[in-house]
Amino acid sequence: MTDQSLTGLTLVDALAGLRARNFSARELTEAHLAAIADANPHLNAFVHVTADKAIAAADVSDGRLARGSEEEVRALEGAPLGIKDLFCTEGVPATACSKILGNFTPPYESGVTEKLFAAGAIHLGKLNMDEFAMGSSNETSAFGPVTSPWRRNGSNAPMVPGGSSGGSAAAVAAELCLAATATDTGGSIRQPAAFTGTVGIKPTYGRCSRWGIVAFASSLDQAGPITRTVADSALMLRVMAGHDPRDSTSLAVETPNFEAACHASLKGLTVGVPKEYRVDGMPKAIEDLWERGIAWLRDAGAKIRTVSLPHTKYALPCYYIVAPAEASSNLARFDGMRYGARVEGRDLTDTYEKSRGAGFGAEVQRRILIGTYVLSAGYYDAFYLRAQRVRRRISDDFTHVFREVDCLLTPTCPSATFELGGKSVDPIEMYLNDVFTVTANLAGLPAISVPAALDANGLPLGLQIIGRALDEESCFTAAAAIEKAAAFNAKPGSWFRGPRS
Ligand code: GLN
């Protein structure tokens, strides 16, 4: 078998191949490490590769696979994964791709990665991301931008992978890992998934533990997987989910069998189409794809209904108050005193100011300034409190429509990927890319993006399914139907596989 025939496998097929002893965990891991070595100089998807750790874990997996008993072979035995740099990983640097964390190496493992590694997953390394997960293009990382493996037809212009989980999406799309962890505060799993032709699910708030994930906006942050198929997504989420007493917002609920939901029938499922998601200036290709998505779900047996979410237009301004407010509070702990970067000043205040001025990048500083402003005396009521009220209205809109429909179908994003540098000059233009994704975070709902087509430039487009709280299963059922009908099997080409020209 050539290397690419190993790295190109789906997670589900790779696990089956390992169990059948068609190849070893070591071969699979080495194939991925070789793919990373080739591609990373082009893509910059990994910021830290844990090759020795990966090989050692692969050997352990091979031992378990050789013994082969039910207890020995765990759910993800021998599966090489990439981990977003926002997750604390014991003994491996976790920097949130910010200078302020320096080379911080956590002495503990995050709740989610702990579950993945306990299930036999192999840690290939840490994935690039927007600094503190703030961004939609992965251009704000202290380690430099990630380049998407996708290019426009007939062009070599570098494109963004989306953000903030751009490293995760690029690595999965470029076949540098079988699957990756990601996080989503306003769209950071789903938007990069849509931009790279991969599958990304943000589960219900509280489904996955936030313990050991560097906090951005604590009431919005959720972890989830980026994968190449819906079935892989279901398997990854099943392992990542589950109650964690160390996170007070983690839900003490059973994790359903998400894989079974991928095979469930759509008969009896009513899918809502929210009319407010038709925004001005949306490319026709996205409108058309949405229509095709409706037809696919109808053909698969679902009932379709037009619904209204009247407060949608306030979601983006609401998000860009709530998220920076929480961020300004969460990021107050990074002061150069206990760990990370420190710039000595004249006195304590000067040291704080110099450390934070040098350690945080421009976008993070912008968020801290916005957040501090909307929380300050005199502005708190006008901005923060009002945004909280709007958030409730947005959430109530969903409660109303979910009395009539089981899930909602929308485009994931109002555009396909754009060129590196194309939007980074205007923060508002960048923020507008989150228009369809932030609503699910504000309401705490599960939402999945599934690749559905290429646009006229040969760039991937995604459709989004939003479900009721704790009903990821309907998301998986509808997403699997779209995946089947769309038969999306486009790959990003192979320009990043050779030596750097
Ligand atoms: N793009 C959004 C932001 O910049 C969402 C980021 C995220 O989900 N982490 O805030």
The packing angle between helices 166-173 and 25-43, to 10°, is 120
355 classed as catalytic: no
CA of 418 to the centre of ligand 1 (A): 17
164 classed as catalytic: yes
Give, in order, the Cα–Cα distances in Å from 197 to each of 128, 192, 451, 460: 18, 9, 5, 5
Residue owning the nearest CA to atom 4 of ligand 1: 135
CA of 135 to the centre of ligand 1 (A): 5
Cα–chain-centroid distance for residue 402? 25
The neighbour count for residue 291, using CB atoms within 10 Å, is: 11
Q: Cβ(133) to ligand 1 under 6 A?
A: yes
Q: Cβ(27) to ligand 1 under 6 A?
A: no
Q: Cβ(185) to ligand 1 under 6 A?
A: yes
In angstroms, the CA 282 to CA 296 distance is 21
Cα–chain-centroid distance for residue 105? 22
pLDDT at position 305 is 98
Pick the catalytic residue: 24, 98, 164, 328? Answer: 164
- 């704000």: which residue's tokens? 140
pLDDT at position 500 is 61
188 classed as catalytic: yes
- Cβ-in-10-Å burial (0-12, 13-18, 19+) of 392 comes to middle
In angstroms, the CA 459 to CA 245 distance is 42
Q: What is the mean pLDDT of each run of 10 residues along the chain (501 residues)?
A: 83 98 98 97 98 98 94 96 98 98 95 98 98 97 98 97 98 98 98 98 98 98 98 98 98 98 97 94 93 98 98 96 98 91 95 96 98 96 97 98 98 95 83 94 98 97 98 98 98 87 52
Q: Which atom of ligand 1 is nearest to the CA of 188?
A: 8
CA of 32 to the centre of ligand 1 (A): 29
Pick the catalytic residue: 24, 84, 136, 168? Answer: 84
| The dihedral sign for the CA sequence 112, 316, 276, 386 | positive
Written as six digits, the tokens of 313 are 């237009």
In angstroms, the CA 178 to CA 28 distance is 10
Q: Cβ(187) to ligand 1 under 6 A?
A: yes
Give, in order, the Cα–Cα distances in Å from 97 to each of 27, 133, 188, 360, 450: 30, 8, 15, 10, 27
Give the chain's end-to-end CA distance (angstroms, integer): 27
CA of 4 to the centre of ligand 1 (A): 33
In angstroms, the CA 268 to CA 53 distance is 47
Beta strands in 205-352 (DSSP E): 222-227, 270-274, 303-307
Cα–chain-centroid distance for residue 248? 22
In angstroms, the CA 256 to CA 242 distance is 10
CA of 187 to the centre of ligand 1 (A): 6
State which of 130, 367, 417 you would mutate to test the pocket of ligand 1, scoring each by most atoms of that ligand within 8 A of its C-beta. Answer: 130
Residue owning the nearest CA to atom 5 of ligand 1: 186
CA of 189 to the centre of ligand 1 (A): 9
The packing angle between helices 472-486 and 230-240, to 10°, is 160
Q: Give CATH superfamily name and number for 3-269+406-486.
A: Amidase signature (AS) domain (3.90.1300.10)
State which of 434, 439, 441 you would mutate to test the pocket of ligand 1, scoring each by most atoms of that ligand within 8 A of its C-beta. Answer: 434
Task: Give tens-digit pLDDT for 112-140.
Answer: 999 999 999 999 999 999 999 999 999 99
Residue pair 101/120 in contact (Cβ under 8 Å)? The answer is no
In angstroms, the CA 415 to CA 355 distance is 37
CA of 141 to the centre of ligand 1 (A): 13
In angstroms, the CA 186 to CA 367 distance is 14
Task: Give tens-digit pLDDT for 222-234.
Answer: 999 999 999 999 9
State which of 131, 134, 219 you would mutate to test the pocket of ligand 1, scoring each by most atoms of that ligand within 8 A of its C-beta. Answer: 134
Q: Report domain extents, the chain.
A: 3-269+406-486
